[in-house]
Structure 1
Amino acid sequence: MKKRIKIKRDFPRLYVFRSNKHIYAQVIDDSKNITIITSSSICPNLKIGTNENTTCKTAQIIGQDIGKKLRKKGIKKIVFDRGKRMYHGKIKALAEATRNEGIEF
């Protein structure tokens, strides 16, 4: 049975999608139905620090980028949404890197 995330209107949601080649992260405001911030392994400015294959190192870079962008926007608390993926490997690396930037889940 799939667990559902309770949508908290106070905090935006960080949604992480991982494919076989890339990893994508979006910060979504569910109350306004808009995407606030996005980052992925295909972004031109982040492609320099990553290689073609998605690794935990790539996920850390994406997590750091999302954390920096959230701090610039003044957002300190978010809800983490990993979809149907288990919390380990690349998903965990992205979450830990975002937490290291000072963002609370």
Structure 2
Amino acid sequence: MANSKRDLFLKRRLRVRNKLRKQADGRARLSVHRSSKNISVQLIDDANGVTLASASSLEKDLGVVGKNNVEAATKVGKAIAERAKKAGVEQCYFDRGGFLFHGKIKALADAAREGGLKF
């Protein structure tokens, strides 16, 4: 039986999350979500179940409200790197969810790395 696009996405997301869970050593997780209109990212401490920092293309001060393109992803990546430094986080795992590491997701990751995050 053929899997739907959504089923394949969920399978991919669980596969990525389980690999991260196996190697978890207390580092935070940088979780990315991409919708059709926006992109958002959270820095999550799984040990305590707390969000340490977050950034989204919905924030007015980033100047990309309602945009979901590589430029918006780059600005969100830079913003999360700055906020992670303020929260005292330098190293984390990159949780791309079920999204392929390509295009907007790659642009966000590269911008976060340039901002000083290591993953």
TM-score scaled by structure 1?
Answer: 0.91
- Unpaired runs of 5+ residues, structure 1, are none
Structure 2 CA distance for partners of 1:42 and 1:54, relative to 1, 3 Å: same
Greater than 2 Å deviation, 4+ residue runs = 1-7
Question: What corresponds to 1:85 in structure 2?
Answer: 99
Tell me if 1:44 matches 2:39: no
- Kindly state the Cα deviation for residue 42 of structure 1 after the two structures are TM-superposed: 0.6
- Kindly state the Cα deviation for residue 51 of structure 1 after the two structures are TM-superposed: 5.2
One-letter code of the match for 1:41? S
Is the radius of gyration larger for structure 1 or structure 2? 2
Contact 1:5–1:81 (CA<8 Å) still a contact in 2? Answer: no
- Kindly state the Cα deviation for residue 45 of structure 1 after the two structures are TM-superposed: 1.8
**Deviations along 1:40-99, whole A, 9 cap, x unmatched?**
0111222xx225331100000000000001111221100000111100000000000000
Question: What corresponds to 2:79 in structure 1?
Answer: 65
Question: What corresponds to 2:48 in structure 1?
Answer: 32
One-letter code of the match for 1:13? R
Counterpart-to-counterpart distance in 1, 2:52 and 2:88: 12
Aligned length: 103
Tell me if 1:21 matches 2:45: no
Q: Percent identity?
A: 36
| Partner residue of 1:54 out of 64, 68, 89 | 68
- Unpaired runs of 5+ residues, structure 2, are 1-10
Greater fraction of residues in helix = 2
Structure 2 CA distance for partners of 1:30 and 1:51, relative to 1, 3 Å: closer
Structure 2 CA distance for partners of 1:80 and 1:59, relative to 1, 3 Å: same
